[in-house]
Structure 1
Amino acid sequence: MKSKILILTAAVLLLVSCGTQKNASTASTVPVTETAKTVVLTPELEEGKNLYENSCARCHKLYDAKKFTEQEWKPILARMQKKAKLDDTQMASISNYITSQL
């Protein structure tokens, strides 16, 4: 009885793993229609990125910069500056980083 269960389990695992590999290979052949914008991060932008990731992620998930427009980000960042206790220089770095990602 135990051998039948082990054989059945092994067969199911084999089928699942084969199916997953097939889906992964077909997903990579789908053409990408949107071109990615590559931004080289200067030391200032890198600092803004680190501040954004470390200060903002303490309280909530990080949002993709493209989720909001530059005008929508301004009041969000102003409101979050007080909660995160960031000074104006740190906030300017975060704002510059987010703007660079739009």
Structure 2
Amino acid sequence: MKSKILTLAVLIILVSCGAPKTAVAPPTPAVTETVKATELTPELAEGKSLYENSCARCHKLYEPKKFTQEKWKPILERMQKKAKLDDVKMASVTNYIHSQL
């Protein structure tokens, strides 16, 4: 009797382990195109780097979409002096912020 139960248990285990496995589908081209659309130009990447490195020294970074373009203007003007960024660097940061809105 024990051998029949043991044989049945082994048979059940073998059958359950042999179940067909489902394959994972490769990512769709639409996902790849979305990633390419979000790549930054060298100028925007420089602006992002300046934003992350200059602004994060004093406070947490805000997502660019948190404020409108009109609300960002006085914030960026005020922070330019504190971050000691010249007009060229500030234009790069501003362009990055605007590109993310």
TM class by shorter chain equals 0.5 to 0.7
Which residue is 1:89 aligned to?
88
**8 Å CA contact retained: 1:53, 1:62:** yes
**8 Å CA contact retained: 1:39, 1:100:** no
Q: Distance in 2 between matches of 1:87 and 1:39?
A: 27
Matched, 1:78 2:70: no
CA deviations 1:82-102 (Å, max 9, x no partner) are 000000000000000000100
For these two proteins, the number of residue pairs brought into alignment is 67
Query: Where in structure 2 are the equivalents of 1:60-71 lying within 5 Å?
Result: 60-71=59-70
RMSD of the alignment, in Å? 1.7
Extract structure 1 runs of 4+ deviating beyond 4 A.
none
Identity level (%): 75
1:71 CA displacement: 0.4
Gapped regions of structure 2 (runs ≥ 5): 1-36
**8 Å CA contact retained: 1:55, 1:84:** yes
CA deviations 1:49-101 (Å, max 9, x no partner) are 00000000000000000000000000000000000000000000000000010
Which residue is 1:52 aligned to?
51
**8 Å CA contact retained: 1:39, 1:101:** no
Q: Which amino acid aligns with 1:51?
A: L
Q: Which amino acid aligns with 1:63?
A: Y
CA deviations 1:11-34 (Å, max 9, x no partner) are xxxxxxxxxxxxxxxxxxxxxxxx
Query: Where in structure 2 are the equivalents of 1:16-55 lying within 5 Å?
Result: 38-55=37-54
Gapped regions of structure 1 (runs ≥ 5): 1-37
Per the normalisation by structure 1, the TM-score is: 0.62
